[in-house]
Structure 1
Amino acid sequence: MTSRAGVLLREMRRQTGLTQEQLAERSGVSVSTIRRLENGRPIDPRMGTVKLLADALGTTAAERRALLAEFGAAAEPAEAEPPRIRSALSDAADQFAQVVASRWQREEEQRRVHDPYPLPVRWQQASPNLTDRWDNIRGVRPGGSAEPLDLNGELDDIADVYRRIPSGRLAVLGRAGSGKTILTLRFVLGFLRTRTPAEPVPAIFTLSSWDPTASTLRDWLIERLPQDYPDCPGLTGPLAAELVETGCLLPVLDGFDELATGLHAAALAALSATSLPFLLTSRPAEYATAVAATDVPTSTAGVELLDLTPADVSGYLPRTSSRAGDRWDPVLAELRACPGGSLSTALRTPLMVALARTVYSAGREPAVLLDTARFPTSHALEDHLLASFVPTVYEHRPPHAARPLRSWDPERAQRWLGYLAQHVGQLDEHDLAWWQLGASLRRSSRILAVVLASTLAIAVLNWLVFVPLDLVGRGTAFTFRAGLMDGLLIGPMVGLAFGLVHGLMIVCGGRGIEPSRVQIRLRGRHRTGRQFFRAYASRLGAALLGGFVIGLGYGPVNTALHGLLFGFPPDGKSLAEKMLVPTLVYGLIFGLAAGLVFGLMAALEIPLDVGTAATPLGLLATNRATALRQLLILVPAVALAIAFGGSLLVELLQGPLGPLRWPLSSGLLIGAVGGLGGGLSYVLAFTAWGQWVLLARIWLPLTGRLPWAVPAFLDDAYRRGVLRQAGAVYQFRHARLQDHLGRGYRAHR
């Protein structure tokens, strides 16, 4: 037991106005025991004793949990919860806690937080204008009053400081680069290190993607959990909802200031509307503006991070490298001599100190920072450190990199990173997702890429299938030219059709292509009942439309080409009549074949094993496997559906539409081209992996905006410390670095 437990008990007793004798009479616990507990003398109280005192004090649920936790006693589970469900949820929460701890431990090592020791981030209590009343924070009953809690502390104290807050709601405010993100990381690891089974599991969420006007905090957390923590087995929608709704999750909401413009006040109102505990980080200005527009979230305490002192920096930088020697001495002397100067002001945040460490730990002389002619202000010094960071890490191998790093030209690497930074900034968020890289292109470029890829696929496959057969069957130069013309006309027509559907549905329709969360397997737990019919209906409608559009384009072109080359049948019909019926028939055949195949594809889908997609490259590999399996199924299925389905449909339409021909051999050939070309075009136009290949691996490198080895470049940037991982996406190391790289790219474009 700690003395803090006794202080908490004494404060709760005083809030109720009871003396120790009165509390003893109410609870049945002796006065001497209560006195020893409040004074913090060595004693090991029984759980029953603490519960009797909590009952006698009339504590709220939050106060009761805090009191039991301080005395080392686990809070009781809700009596209404069946033991079996409680056990299942507890197991799921414990497993989730292990995943969270493992992830952020690796991330802490990647960011070198403990090398040689964490910077001394400190804080003080925030202005009263930015916090709620203490009687609300401490849950005092109406008519009572509460004294402020002492929330001051340092980085390793953050979990203990949070536990002092009965409401479980804390806002951490700090300037850019002051250490808010590192604080959330340390909070999660520290909280999990001492977490009891009755406590929730802290999990970090980046707030930039939350729209509080469209979804509540609970609904958004339920949606984000499987996406942000794909490495937790079984964390699907139902389990995510249970963890959130039953209080097993403690959301750590990072980057309130990064919400879209105009949503800050709505976000605070949404936080007040929920009873969930949370730890929130924000820059002070955005938080203060939102508070002025609405109010402080109910029962929320607040702390504000303090600047590093010259003594902090002087004690830290020389210890970052044994090779540094006395190189830092002139800089440290200036810090001590002018604590309010430009250099001291620039090095007041952990971000700038970390950048200075990186830039000048590779042999450069840090005394250049004392050049007041070159760096007359603190802003000039900060810009210099930001500008020097990327060239430094690409010129020298980071000392913490365990595996060999690929060699990149620093100037090109900076330009590529600048393009990525601008792309993320245009999305108005901080997630760098591989499946969204194509969105950095103009709409016309994305549609043109699909048209060209589909055209090339259909044309080449048409030539490979029909030209050799024509030469074998007829053996003339005329038929060879006819085969070439067939590919040259049919390819662009189908390409335009795919581009039209892609443009209407994806580019202009705003229907983003997300990574597939399913796998194609012959065995496994497939969809059944309502889930299958819902998926089947959605695929059927889209595939029918797409196939019918392609058929409408294929029909007249194919009919006109063969009529011009080989002549039209002498049946007395006009050219329009000769083309109308084949157009309608091809539209029906292609549309029904595509609808049938893509609809039945839903029967082979099973939920993705998210454990294989815990990183950006892991999710990419999983989606590549899914797309290739789709292609392997689509090619023969579409070919057979066109060949035999076309034959059946032609037989049914013989009467209404007149004499029709659909030889099985021709149907199989058209089906082969349709299956191969159509399947490949579908993958490139309508799957996340296909768009990644077409746009990020081909189009963007062709135009010089990204390297050819994009996956290797992103992974290398993460290992060099330019990027960080947040589940299945990357993020830039810091928003200021992202903004600097984006501005630099735009200035030199």
Structure 2
Amino acid sequence: MSRRTRTWWFRAGVAAGMVMLVAAALRLWTLYPGDVDPVGAGLGLAGTGIAALSWWQAQRLADTDVQAAAILLAGRVLAEERAQRAQLLGRKGSDAVIDVDFSFHPTGGSVSAPPAGSLKQVAGYFRELGGPGRLVITGVAGSGKTVLAIELILRLLDGRRPDDRVPVRISAASLDPDVPVRDMLARHLTAAYGLKPVTARTLVQAERILPVVDGLDEMDDTDEPGYGSRAARALRALEEYEHGLDRCGMVLTCRTDQYDALVADRAVPRGIVRVDVGRVGGDKAWSFIQAVTDQEDPDRWRPVLDALTRDGHVLAEALNTPWRLTLAVSVHEQRDPVTGRYVRSPEVLTRFADQQAVREHLLGLFIPARLAAADPAGRGPDARRTHAYLAVLAAHLRANAGRPPLDGRVLSGTDLVLHRLWPLAGDRARFFGALVALATCLPGVAAVVVAAVAVFSRVEIVDGRISGATVMAVALLLLPGTVAVRLLTEPVTAYRQAWSTADEDGLLRSRGGQSRRRSVVDGVLAALYGCLTSAAVIMEFGAALPLWVPIVFGVLVGVGMASGRDVTLGYAGSWDGVDPRTVIRNDVVSTLVAALTFGPGFGFMLGIWFVKLLEGIPVVAAVAVAAVFGMSLVASWSPLLARRYLGLLLATRGRLPWRLGRFLHRCYDAGLLRISGIAYQFRHRELQDYLATHPQAPTAAPVPCLEGEPS
């Protein structure tokens, strides 16, 4: 069901609820004349409506407070980027930071900048640029461009002034050049940081966002993107995104060769300052290894340290980036979980003849080394299965680079978003998703069939006439009957619809205290409404039910309003920080809560009507059948995300783990993946490319021998 349709149903339900509430009040007045003052009751209802409208307006103003929203967003960005920085550095603290140098390269325009700088000076360097602040960070693969961008974000947020822009990092591979930048930024703020859509749009329109586009080189599967490439189109879209009469500020990261190609085609933004991250020299590599390795046994790394400072040695070139140094340390600091002894000696690195051999050696051992460090007990999949699972995902990302858009959406070559991974299994994922939709629809359809049999079995024609109660029962059956027909089309919709509208809006990752308070208020009001309406129905129809029954069903409706509302309508959720699994988890939880609360509440109301109109039907049976219908209705009209994700899991048995989200987060904790917004990404593109071309973990290979040693 589309967002517009759900919104219409929600508003229609609110209107119907208000009508029923007024009707219940009037009925109580007619049942107990003299005990209720109609004028006072009317004034009370009017006052309640005015108070509710004032409260809604106050919430609306709070959601569009630019200063408060910017402070909220800055806090969430700071928390997430700190977590990403710690994960990229192996949670070793400041010792794991290589203070890489960068140099200034003019790319045209009147912007001036210092000739050079370092990691610790990047924020001051950026502030000295003046103007809108336009910076591109270039370097070779593994040179630390992302770490430098994160460092810039953290230092800009540290001591941020109220009117400063909030830097927000965005994966370039997830950008769609055909979507206006303002819309893209608002969607990203909603999906990655859980802001309400109105709050996100307010921040973008107020020009409080500094986009930090990470990985521009990953938008195209070529080393020489031309003027018509996705990267060039994205840059033109950013160039057209202006703040009033001024150009917008931006920070980009891109590999040197790809950016040089864009410069040659004149596809880069105007007035942008370029800094190129330098390679890690022998002295800094030596300092880094000494800082993060075992100080009690420094001689273990002595051969490697000597090789790094020797001119022309293979290791001096093979380990000249932070990524490769991190690989080397991770692989050769692995210890046996029982004895505590080192599994392998770093001295073997000096025996390889070329850089490719060093690369293959380190990447082949990286997964078992990181898993051993993060999970010594081996509670998850072993290294071989982990390698195979990640290789399937890496091959999927690699295939996406050459695919045309799928139903209008460009598939990412770097991002692993759980509810967008279904193209990995193709039509099989759609088919299984449709089966899941059918499984949720069938109970509701069966309940309608049972109700229809009960109604038509009691139809009696006397003198060519049908009783008025029977006619009313048939008319009442038309509503669930029509809905049942609509339910039967849900499996077809689930198969044909590639992308859910809930995915476009970005599902709930964050709801703060203000939203929780709003949910509680909604829940209390809904509970009162449910109790009053249920009591009025019982008094009207004289159903033989105790008074606690309407109270229970009223509370169920209240709980549903407080915690099971549809996320696309602003429904409450919880912000769990950096965890892309929250999208699917909250989708499932909100659907279950809504089905178990609204379903029985709706069933109670509908069942009582049938009991009144058709004599001889047990109250419990009527309410139970109607409750099944209500639960099936809510579950079937839930967002498509969880259904398609479950279809992916069913379609990839044996190729991917059953608990895929848990597996990916385990790999994140082990340092094999990183997180960007609601997406997992491989720790480095080199690791992704290696896994895509090596579907199976390498077998143990003999260690190369130095010249003169026995083989």
Bucket of the pairwise TM-score, normalised by the shorter protein: 0.5 to 0.7
Partner AA of 1:123 in structure 2: F
Q: Which residue of 2 aligns with 1:437?
A: 421
Distance change >3 Å, CA 461–CA 741, structure 1 → 2:
farther
Match of 2:196 among 209, 222, 236: 236
Match of 1:688 among 611, 618, 641: 641
The answer to whether residue 486 in structure 2 is matched with residue 506 in structure 1 is: no
In 2, distance between residues paired with 1:669 and 1:91?
Answer: 47
Q: Which residue of 2 aligns with 1:607?
A: 570
Residue pairs, 1:53-452, within 5 angstroms:
88-111=65-88, 112=91, 114-126=93-105, 128=106, 131-133=107-109, 135=110, 137=111, 148-167=112-131, 168-215=133-180, 217-230=181-194, 235-260=195-220, 262-273=229-240, 274=242, 275-322=247-294, 324-337=297-310, 339-362=311-334, 363=342, 364-372=344-352, 376-397=353-374, 406-425=379-398, 426=400, 427-451=411-435
In 2, distance between residues paired with 1:416 and 1:618?
Answer: 21
Q: Which residue of 1 aligns with 2:690?
A: 740
Q: Is the 8 A contact 2:384 2:697 kept in 1?
A: no
- Match of 2:137, SS state, is strand
- Match of 1:327, SS state, is helix
In 1, distance between residues paired with 2:279 and 2:220?
Answer: 27
Q: Is the 8 A contact 1:206 1:255 kept in 2?
A: yes
Deviation at 1:208, TM superposition (A): 1.6
Deviation at 1:524, TM superposition (A): 4.7
User: What number of residue pairs does the alignment pair up?
Assistant: 523
Q: Could you list the per-position Cα deviations for residues 347-386 of structure 1 after superposition, in whole angstroms to 9, with x for gaps in the alignment?
A: 11111111111001112211211223xxx32123123212
Q: Is the 8 A contact 1:265 1:293 kept in 2?
A: no
Structure 2, unaligned stretches of length 5 or more? Answer: 1-60, 222-228, 335-341, 401-410, 458-484, 524-563, 699-711
Deviation at 1:418, TM superposition (A): 1.8
In 2, distance between residues paired with 1:408 and 1:677?
Answer: 36
In 2, distance between residues paired with 1:524 and 1:638?
Answer: 21
Structure label with greater radius of gyration: 1
Distance change >3 Å, CA 505–CA 91, structure 1 → 2:
closer
Distance change >3 Å, CA 431–CA 515, structure 1 → 2:
same
Q: Is the 8 A contact 2:304 2:346 kept in 1?
A: yes
In 1, distance between residues paired with 2:429 and 2:631?
Answer: 24
Match of 1:721 among 658, 671, 687: 671
Deviation at 1:101, TM superposition (A): 2.0
Distance change >3 Å, CA 98–CA 680, structure 1 → 2:
closer
- Match of 1:195, SS state, is coil
In 1, distance between residues paired with 2:697 and 2:330?
Answer: 25
Partner AA of 1:723 in structure 2: L
Q: Which residue of 1 aligns with 2:681?
A: 731
Distance change >3 Å, CA 524–CA 733, structure 1 → 2:
farther
- Match of 2:129, SS state, is coil
Q: Which of 380-389 and 177-186 deviates more?
A: 380-389
In 2, distance between residues paired with 1:512 and 1:670?
Answer: 33
Q: Is the 8 A contact 1:122 1:154 kept in 2?
A: yes
Q: Is the 8 A contact 1:268 1:294 kept in 2?
A: no
Deviation at 1:307, TM superposition (A): 0.8
Q: Is the 8 A contact 1:454 1:494 kept in 2?
A: no
Q: Is the 8 A contact 1:124 1:305 kept in 2?
A: yes
Q: Is the 8 A contact 1:158 1:187 kept in 2?
A: yes
Deviation at 1:724, TM superposition (A): 1.9
Q: Could you list the per-position Cα deviations for residues 584-616 of structure 1 after superposition, in whole angstroms to 9, with x for gaps in the alignment?
A: xxxxxxxxxxxxxxxxx9899851446525332
- Match of 1:253, SS state, is strand
Distance change >3 Å, CA 459–CA 251, structure 1 → 2:
closer
Deviation at 1:617, TM superposition (A): 3.4
Q: Could you list the per-position Cα deviations for residues 313-356 of structure 1 after superposition, in whole angstroms to 9, with x for gaps in the alignment?
A: 1222133122553111112222222x333322111111111111
Q: Which has the higher contact order (CA 8 A, sep 6+)?
A: 2
Deviation at 1:305, TM superposition (A): 0.9
In 1, distance between residues paired with 2:128 and 2:590?
Answer: 48
Partner AA of 2:595 in structure 1: L
In 2, distance between residues paired with 1:221 and 1:513?
Answer: 12
- % same residue: 26
In 2, distance between residues paired with 1:604 and 1:513?
Answer: 12
Q: Is the 8 A contact 2:397 2:413 kept in 1?
A: yes
Residue pairs, 1:1-40, within 5 angstroms:
none
Distance change >3 Å, CA 495–CA 409, structure 1 → 2:
farther
Deviation at 1:309, TM superposition (A): 1.0
In 1, distance between residues paired with 2:567 and 2:207?
Answer: 36
Q: Could you list the per-position Cα deviations for residues 642-693 of structure 1 after superposition, in whole angstroms to 9, with x for gaps in the alignment?
A: 9899999xx9xxxxxxxxx99979998976665565655555xx53234334
In 1, distance between residues paired with 2:239 and 2:346?
Answer: 48
Distance change >3 Å, CA 603–CA 438, structure 1 → 2:
closer
Distance change >3 Å, CA 352–CA 690, structure 1 → 2:
same
Distance change >3 Å, CA 360–CA 461, structure 1 → 2:
farther
Deviation at 1:503, TM superposition (A): 1.7
Deviation at 1:303, TM superposition (A): 1.1
Distance change >3 Å, CA 454–CA 172, structure 1 → 2:
same
Deviation at 1:155, TM superposition (A): 0.7
Deviation at 1:162, TM superposition (A): 0.9
In 1, distance between residues paired with 2:375 and 2:697?
Answer: 28
Q: Could you list the per-position Cα deviations for residues 270-319 of structure 1 after superposition, in whole angstroms to 9, with x for gaps in the alignment?
A: 33333111111111222222222234311111111111112221222133
- Match of 2:695, SS state, is helix
In 1, distance between residues paired with 2:497 and 2:598?
Answer: 21
In 1, distance between residues paired with 2:146 and 2:488?
Answer: 47
Deviation at 1:741, TM superposition (A): 1.9
Distance change >3 Å, CA 671–CA 246, structure 1 → 2:
closer
Deviation at 1:434, TM superposition (A): 2.1
In 2, distance between residues paired with 1:361 and 1:108?
Answer: 21
In 2, distance between residues paired with 1:212 and 1:342?
Answer: 41
Q: Which residue of 2 aligns with 1:563?
A: none
Distance change >3 Å, CA 420–CA 320, structure 1 → 2:
same
In 2, distance between residues paired with 1:398 and 1:218?
Answer: 42
In 2, distance between residues paired with 1:416 and 1:608?
Answer: 35
Distance change >3 Å, CA 324–CA 355, structure 1 → 2:
farther
Question: Normalised by the size of structure 2, how large is the TM-score?
Answer: 0.64
- Match of 2:581, SS state, is helix
- Match of 1:105, SS state, is helix
Q: Which residue of 1 aligns with 2:6?
A: none
In 1, distance between residues paired with 2:87 and 2:603?
Answer: 50
In 1, distance between residues paired with 2:615 and 2:414?
Answer: 55
Distance change >3 Å, CA 522–CA 643, structure 1 → 2:
farther
Question: Normalised by the size of structure 1, how large is the TM-score?
Answer: 0.61
